[in-house]
Amino acid sequence: MVRNSYCSSKARQPCIYAILKDSYIYIGETQRYVFSRWGSHLSKNGSFIVNLLKIDEDAAQEDSKVEAISFHLTEIEENCENWEWKKVTQSIEHEVHLKIDQSSVISTKYTTISNTTRTAPLHSKYQWIDSVAENLVGELENHLSPRDG
């Protein structure tokens, strides 16, 4: 897994990403251009904005900093067939959601406004999914920790 500080021009790339605004965090997945997904989430009818409007209309409408971070899942490219990418990425995304809820660094400061109730696969044949999700949440915690000031 590689935390990206840039957007790759590679057309197919399995990623988990986080979008943060104020005290809210949205977790998503894609196998395409990650910056394109961010744009759609931040549009007027995008799922990030729609979900934020449901719980905090003021935060959704205020002009505050929005941060996006992506994690390129190299493990998927190295261990999975192309046709498996979406299901495996969704499995990791689901595990990340579960682990964020257990993270004292993230869950005490951020409210998760995304969920995987409709997209989480029932099972996966890959045992390493849990450790990839654990590492990703650790990377996200490290990224967010300097904000504790």
pLDDT digits (tens, 9 = 90+) for 28-56: 998 877 766 766 766 677 788 888 889 99
Euclidean distance between the first and final Cα of the chain, in Å? 27
Output the pLDDT for position 5.
Answer: 46
Instruction: Kindly tell me if the per-residue pLDDT of 128 is higher than 60.
Output: yes
Domain that holds residue 21: 2-148
Q: Is 71 helix (H, G, I), strand (E, B) or coil?
A: strand
Distance CA(82)–CA(78), nearest Å, equals 10
Query: What is the tally of structural domains in the chain?
Result: 1
Instruction: Write out the H or E segment, with its range, that includes residue 24.
Output: strand 24-30
Question: Which range among 19-23, 57-61, 91-95, 113-117 shows the weakest confidence by mean pLDDT?
Answer: 57-61
Q: ∠ CA(147), CA(117), CA(5), 5° rounding?
A: 35
Instruction: Kindly tell me if the per-residue pLDDT of 19 is higher than 60.
Output: yes
Strand segments (E) across 34-137: 66-72, 111-112
Q: Which residue has the higher pLDDT, 46 or 23?
A: 23
In the chain, what's the furthest Cα-to-Cα distance?
44
Output the pLDDT for position 140.
Answer: 94
Residues 53-66 have a mean pLDDT of: 87
